A and B are shown apart, each in its own frame.
Chain A
Amino acid sequence: MRHENIETNVGLLVALTLVVISIGGLIEIVPLFFIDETIEQVKTTDGKDAIRPFTPLESRGRDIYIREGCYLCHSQMIRPFRDEILRYGHYSLAAESQYDHPFQWGSKRTGPDLARVGGKYSNEWHTQHMIAPRSVMPDSIMPNYPWLLENDLKYNDIAGRLKSQRIVGVPYSLTDEEYEANVERFGKEAADRLNIHAAEENLMAQAEQGNYDGDRSRLTEMDALVAYLQVLGTMVDFKQYDEGHFAEFR
C-alpha cells in the first residue's frame, strides 16, 4: 500500500494510527501482568498478606477523596529518589496500590504527597485542617472543606460499592469460600472487615471506635475521609525488611 493512500484517507489514517499506538501500549503494559516481580510479595511476620483492601469506612473515605478532587493537587506515589524518601518516607510499592481502583498515584503535587500521611497527624488535626487549612498552616493554599463535617455520611449503599470493587478483582468476600480464602490470606480480623454481608456494621463499628471527627453523636463524611487518610501507607512494616529487599523485585 502506498503511503499516499493512507495519508489521503482519513478513516484509514485514524485506524492505522490506533493500531500503531496500541502496539506500543500493549508491549509496554500487558507483560507487566505476567512478570512475577511486578507486584512485590509483602507478608507480615505470621505469613499473611500485609496489604489488605480498604475497610468499608476507609473505602467511603476514598470515594470522598475522589469526589472532592484531592488527587488534583495531591499525589500518592513516593518515587525511589533520596530527596523524596527523606521527606515522605519509604518509596511506594506496587503492592500498596494493588487494590486501588482507580489508583491515586497522581502526577501533580500542588500539595504534598499523601502516600504515607497515615499516622503522621492526629485525627483532631486532620479535622481542623480540613475545615480551615490556614488555621493550622498559615501558608497553605488548600481550599476549605467545611461541609465534610456537616454532611452525614451516606452508607446505605456500601455493600453495592464493595460488590462493584469485587467485580474488578478486589477480594471483598461474598460467599463462604471467599471469606475462608480471605481468612487464609489476610487473617481473621481483616477478613471479617472485608465481608460484604457485614459491611454496614463494620463501617459503623470502625467509625464508633475511631471517632475520627471528634464527634461521637454523628457519622459524618469527615469520619470516613480521616479514616482513609490515617491508613494511607501504614500497612507495610518496613522495619521488617533490610534496605535492599524491595530492590530484588526490580
Chain B
Amino acid sequence: MSENKKTGHAVQTTGHAWDGDIQEYNNPIPRWWLWSFYATVVFSIIYWVLYPAWPIGHSYTTGVLNNITYTVNGEEKTTHWNTRARLVRDMQTGEDAVKQRRHMQEVANASFSAILSDPKMIDFSSKIGKVLFTDNCAACHGMGGQGVVGLFPSLVDDDWLWGGRTENIRETIASGRIGFMPAFGKTFSDQQMDDVVEYVLSLSNQAEDQPRVQRGKQLFGGEQGGCYYCHNQEGTGIQSQGAANLTDQIWTIVDVAGQKDIEGKRALVREVVSKGVNRSMPNWKGRLSDEEIKLLTVYVYNLSGGK
C-alpha cells in the first residue's frame, strides 16, 4: 500500500509482486487523458451531423453542411461535403486555378511571336512548360531534351527532322509523327550499297573513296534509289517528309559521328539504308489541352535556342 503523491490518497497495487518486492500501482488513468477522450466523442457526434457519416440501407446521411457550390452547364449546384465536388469547385473557382487559368487565357489569345517577345510570358511558359515536358516528353527525349541516338531525337540542337518553326513543333506535339524510310536492302546490290553509303558520307565530308562517291551520287539522285524524293538532290532533307538533313554532322538514327574509323561509319549508314527506319511519336492532343501544347511548343522551341 502506498500513497498517490498528488492526491495523497492511498493507492492500490495490482496485487502482483515480481522478484519479491517489485509492485505495480493501480492508478486511475490521468484526468487530461480522460477528458481528451470525452472530447473526441463529442467531436465525432458533431462530425456525424455536419458531414456524410451513417449508412442507411442503400443510401447514407449526407450531413447538414451543404457548402460546396460549383457550376455545371451554366447551372449552379450546391451539394453536401465530398472530395469530388470540392475538387470541381477548386478547379472552377479555387485561387490557384483561377490564377493559372488567367495566364492560360493570355497564352491562348497570344500568337507565338507575341509570346516569344514578352519576357513575362516566356517566364510563365518555361515554368509550366518544364513541368509538362518532364511529365510527358522527358521519358523519351530526356530531362534536358538531349534525346537518345537511335531512338529519340535530340531537341536541343538546331537540326529538326520535321521543322523547327513554332508551327511545325506545335503540329508535331499535337498530332504526333511517323518517321518512315523504306528498307533498301533488297533494292541495291552489295556494290551499289557501298556506293550509296559512301555518297551519303560524302555529303557531310566523311567519305574516302571518290569513285564510289561518284557512282553513289547517280543512285542517290537517280530513279533506282530515289533517295532524293525525300532527302532532295542536295541531301539536305525535306522537313515535310521528316527526312533527315544528311549534310550536317548530326545523326539521329545511328551514332555515325561517334565512330572513330571510316569502316565503323560505313557499317552504321549501311544498316540504316538496308533496314530503313520505322519509328513514331504519339500524339498529345488527347492528353494535353491546346494551351498546354502551345506552352510546350514555346518551351521546346527555346530548348534549342529558338531557331
Contact of B181 with A by CB under 8 A? no
Task: Judge if B139 is at the interface, Cβ distance under 8 Å.
Answer: yes
- Determine the distance from Cα of A63 to Cα of B117 in the docked complex, in whole angstroms: 53
B282 touches A122 (CB 8 A): yes
Task: Check A35–B287 contact: CB distance below 8 A.
Answer: no
List chain B residues, Cβ under 8 A from A216.
none
Q: Is the CB of B135 within 8 A of A242?
A: no
Taking the closest CB of chain B, its distance from the CB of A204, in whole angstroms, is 24
Whether A31 contacts B60 in the complex (CB less than 8 A), given A82-B91, A89-B287, comes out as: yes
Residues from chain A with Cβ under 8 Å of B97 in the complex = 82
- Assess A242 versus B73: contact at CB under 8 Å? Given A31-B60, A137-B139: yes
Asked if A65 is at the interface (CB within 8 A of a chain B CB), the reply is no
From residue 272 to 298 of chain B, which have CB atoms closer than 8 A to chain A? 279-282, 287
Instruction: Give the complex CA separation of A125 and B135 in angstroms.
Output: 14
Q: A34-B58, A244-B70 are in contact. Are A139 and B143 (CB under 8 A)?
A: yes
Q: Name the contact of A91 in the complex, choosing from B79, B87, B142, B279 (C-beta under 8 A).
A: B87
Against B, the Cβ 8 Å flags (1 = close, 0 = not) of A148-162 are 000000000000000
Among A128-136, A167-175, A188-196, the stretch in contact with B: A128-136
| A82-B87, A136-B148 known; A244 vs B139 contact (CB < 8 Å) | no
B79 cross-chain contacts in A, Cβ below 8 A: 247
Known A121-B139, A137-B139, A244-B88; contact A35-B72, beta-carbon cutoff 8 A: no
Cα separation A25 to B152 with both chains bound (whole Å): 51
Q: Contacts A82-B97, A135-B148 hold; do A91 and B59 have CB atoms under 8 A apart?
A: no
Chain A residues near B77: list those with CB within 8 A: 244
Q: How would residues 85 to 126 of chain A score, 1 for a CB under 8 Å from any chain B CB and 0 otherwise?
A: 101010100000000000000000000000000011110110
- Chain A residues touching B, majority SS: loop
Residue of A nearest to B97 (CB): A82
Is B88 touching A243 in the complex (CB atoms < 8 A)? yes
CB distance from A242 to the nearest CB of B (A): 5
Task: Given A138-B142, A138-B143, answer yes or no on A250-B70 (Cβ-Cβ < 8 Å).
Answer: no
Residue from B58, B84, B142 whose CB has the most chain A CB atoms within 10 Å: B84
Structural contact, B83 and A80, CB atoms closer than 8 A:
yes
| Contact of A34 with B55 in the complex, beta carbons under 8 Å | yes
Q: How far is the CA of A82 from the CA of B27 in the complex (A)?
A: 50
Contact B139 A35 (CB under 8 A): no
Is A125 in contact with B84, judged by CB distance below 8 angstroms? no
Complex CA gap A250/B60 in Å reads: 10
A21-41 contacts to B, CB under 8 A, are: 27, 31-32, 34-37
In the bound assembly, the distance between CA atoms of A36 and B279 in angstroms comes to 47
Residues of chain B within 8 A of A80, CB atoms compared: 83-84, 86-87
- With an 8 A cutoff between CB atoms, is B209 at the interface? no
Measured in the bound complex, the distance between the Cα atoms of B136 and A89 in whole Å is 12
Residue in B72, B85, B91 whose CB lies within 8 Å of A242: B72
CB distance from A6 to the nearest CB of B (A): 14
- Cβ B151 vs Cβ A250 within 8 A: no
Answer yes or no: A246 CB below 8 A from chain B CBs. yes
Nearest CB of B to A29, in Å: 10
- Closest residue of chain A to B57 (Cβ to Cβ) is A34
Contact with A along B47-83 (1 / 0, CB 8 A): 0000010010111100000000010110001010011
**Which of B73, B85, B140, B287 sits near A125, CB closer than 8 Å?**
B140
Residues of B within 8 Å of A121, CB to CB, are: 139-140, 282
Specify which chain B residues have a CB less than 8 angstroms from the CB of A32 in the assembled complex.
Answer: 55
**Is B211 positioned at the interface, with any CB of A under 8 Å from its CB?**
no
For residue B87, which residues in chain A have a CB less than 8 angstroms away from its CB?
Answer: 80-82, 85, 91, 247
Contact status A137-B138, CB under 8 Å: yes
Cα distance A152–B58 when bound, in Å? 48
Do B140 and A82 have beta carbons less than 8 Å apart?
no
Can you name 16 extra interface pairs (CB under 8 A) apart from A27-B55, A124-B279, A246-B84?
A81-B87, A82-B87, A82-B94, A85-B91, A120-B136, A129-B139, A135-B148, A136-B139, A137-B139, A137-B143, A139-B143, A242-B73, A244-B85, A244-B88, A247-B87, A249-B84
21 CB contacts below 8 A, A to B, read A34-B55, A36-B58, A89-B287, A120-B136, A121-B139, A122-B140, A124-B279, A125-B139, A136-B148, A136-B151, A137-B138, A139-B143, A242-B72, A242-B73, A244-B70, A244-B72, A244-B85, A246-B84, A247-B85, A250-B82, A250-B83
Q: Please report A residues at the B interface, Cβ cutoff 8 Å.
A: 27, 31-32, 34-37, 79-82, 85, 87, 89, 91, 119-122, 124-125, 128-129, 135-139, 242-244, 246-247, 249-250
State the 8 A-B residue pairs at the shortest beta-carbon distance, nearest first.
A31-B55, A250-B82, A247-B84, A244-B72, A247-B85, A80-B87, A80-B83, A36-B58
